[in-house]
Amino acid sequence: MTQPDWSQIQSFAAVAEHGSLSAAARAQNSSQPTLSRHIAQLEATLGTRLFDRSSGGMVLTDEGTDLLAHATTMADAASRFGTDRDGHGKEIAGTVRLTASHVVASFILPPILCELHATYPGIEIEVIASDTTENLLRREADIALRMYRPTQPDVIAKHIADLPLGAYAAPSYIKKHGAPETLDDLMHHSIIGYDRSPLIIDGFAQRGFTVTRDFFAFRSDDQVLCWHMVVAGYGIGFGQRRVGDADPRVVRVSKDMDVGSMPLWLTAHPDLRRIPRVRRVYDWLARVLPT
């Protein structure tokens, strides 16, 4: 029996993970025709259909689901092989792939990474600005910074800080509408919030206020866009004090108003911690981010 080609299995796993040829092609830096050809070849080799094609995307068949479990094991084993090989090098040089939320990547990491680069010029940094969860075990990223405790098994996760939040507005907004002093006052203002994410709604609920997404005068799950709307004077929004207090275009509307904090977790694959360049970046972030 002809054995499946490894590239075909990789393409199959990518389409299974992302749910469509187009999304998998973007993630793999490949093309839809290539992925489609690989899957057709794999189905021909195995003599079975792996996906049901529909207008909504690619849905695994029962046979495809069974194969995905084996493909995942193979991908993890290949990742560990690459990790072991990389770990032999002692030079502090090479690429480290880091993933962080859009806000952290855009507003917090740049000066930190500039200092890191000046200290270790041989380390090249790649940043994935994303609010989704990259798979560390398959080396989609080497290190992850997240605002929640990682749920992936077999990774090192370190809670390095609790980032205090504040409510912010542009001076132009405050001039027109005044500044709220309490959370009760805040209920009568134009609030900038998220569309599908429940984070702000949950924050209000924890403080005894029931709101729905319709409460927000502007909604978007793009947190950087939400911040730009605050700066533009559309309404009051929430952000990390580390970001907001450093932005001269906005003011914190009430320094006595408690709007909570967000945990910051630093995560890496345990094998990657012993690769010198990754370990150096991990330790650097663990030291600098809490300050």
Copy the structure tokens of residue 210.
Answer: 């029931």
19 confidence band (pLDDT: 50, 70, 90): confident
What's residue 89's pLDDT?
A: 47
Find which of 11-20, 40-49, 132-141, 239-248 is predicted with most confidence, using mean pLDDT: 239-248
> Cβ distance 174 to 253 under 8 Å?
yes
CATH topology of domain 94-156+264-288: D-Maltodextrin-Binding Protein; domain 2 (3.40.190)
Find which of 33-42, 151-160, 192-201 is predicted with most confidence, using mean pLDDT: 192-201
Q: State whether the Cα torsion 223-224-225-228 is positive or negative.
A: positive
C-alpha triplet 235, 240, 246: angle, nearest 5°: 85
Residue 290 main-chain phi, psi, to 5 deg: -70, -15
Q: For 54-70, what is each residue's pLDDT tens digit? A: 766 788 888 888 887 77
CATH topology of domain 163-262: D-Maltodextrin-Binding Protein; domain 2 (3.40.190)
Q: For 175-185, what is each residue's pLDDT tens digit? A: 999 999 998 99
Copy the structure tokens of residue 17.
Answer: 């993970």
Q: What is the mean pLDDT of residues 91-108?
A: 88
Q: CA-CA distances (angstroms) from residue 221 to 100, 162, 173?
A: 15, 22, 22
Would you call 143 helix, strand, or coil by DSSP? strand
**pLDDT at residue 186 tops 90:** yes
Closest CA to 150 of 263, 280, 272: 263
Copy the structure tokens of residue 7.
Answer: 């590239």
Separation of alpha carbons 154 and 70, rounded Å: 18
CATH topology of domain 6-86: Arc Repressor Mutant, subunit A (1.10.10)
**Residue extents of the structural domains in the chain:** 6-86, 94-156+264-288, 163-262
Mean of per-residue pLDDT scores for the chain: 85
Q: How many residues does the chain have?
A: 291
Tokens 């973007």, residue?
26
Separation of alpha carbons 192 and 169, rounded Å: 10
